[in-house]
Structure 1
């Protein structure tokens, strides 16, 4: 029973953070998957669509839809891959980089607001526990 209540509490916090993130993204009219794609490209630079799909853990067809939407908004562009003429790379535009930075700041601020409810010691302990479970 104790494990179940811990699991439910964890999922409730996850849902709360996801909701707050969605609200934080509203000014950009961007979906969480589009935001994640921008973040991956900011962190790793231009890449093939298949690599982006792997990073996002989604099907290549779904990644194509995400990139199509981002490209229509001038946040990413497709470029020929100089190593393989048949392949295409996805890269951030200047507007995409600026938007990605702003979104990253908004998401970080939401996380800070959520975790501000904890003392510094509780935050450090939670970070330690989450890193242990992640690794």
Structure 2
């Protein structure tokens, strides 16, 4: 039986490999439409269901506001997000998804899902349910 440290390392390496495959599949199909960081911004805005202040967006992403500004600049140039003044605070700026951004996000999500389906098709239904249960348990904070 492997030592716990060895098991942890093996699991980490396997998960990294799976995530890399998923990202590669998305990138191969989308070309250079969005980076992983840009995808995270689009996903965060979509999950919020409303426009977010840049500072709030940065906080949810766990990055400094200057980094969020850079990513939003690129997404705005690609017309995937739009900025507008915050009506409650003239100093603040709100960022929201555009319809084009929502389309790109839906495409990336579909491609990520398809890439994962290709991987989990190797498992029977019970194994898939077990994997989902175990990953959910590990992901719970």
Question: If the length of structure 1 is used for normalisation, what is the TM-score?
Answer: 0.90
Structure 2 counterpart SS, 1:85:
strand
CA RMSD, 1 decimal: 1.5
- Where structure 1 has 5 or more consecutive residues not aligned to the other structure, the ranges are none
The separation in 1 between residues aligned to 2:107 and 2:128, in whole angstroms, is: 24
Choose 15-24 or 120-129, whichever is displaced more. Answer: 15-24
1:49-68 residue pairs with structure 2 within 5 A?
49-68=54-73
Q: Deviations over 1:23-77 (max 9, x none)?
A: 2124241211111111111111310111111221111111111111111111001
The separation in 2 between residues aligned to 1:57 and 1:117, in whole angstroms, is: 35
1:1-135 residue pairs with structure 2 within 5 A?
1-23=2-24, 24-26=26-28, 27-29=30-32, 30-44=34-48, 45-135=50-140
The separation in 2 between residues aligned to 1:116 and 1:56, in whole angstroms, is: 32
- 1:96 Cα deviation after fit: 0.6
Contact 1:75 1:93 in 2 (8 A): yes
Distance 1:67 1:19, change over 3 A: same
Question: If the length of structure 2 is used for normalisation, what is the TM-score?
Answer: 0.87
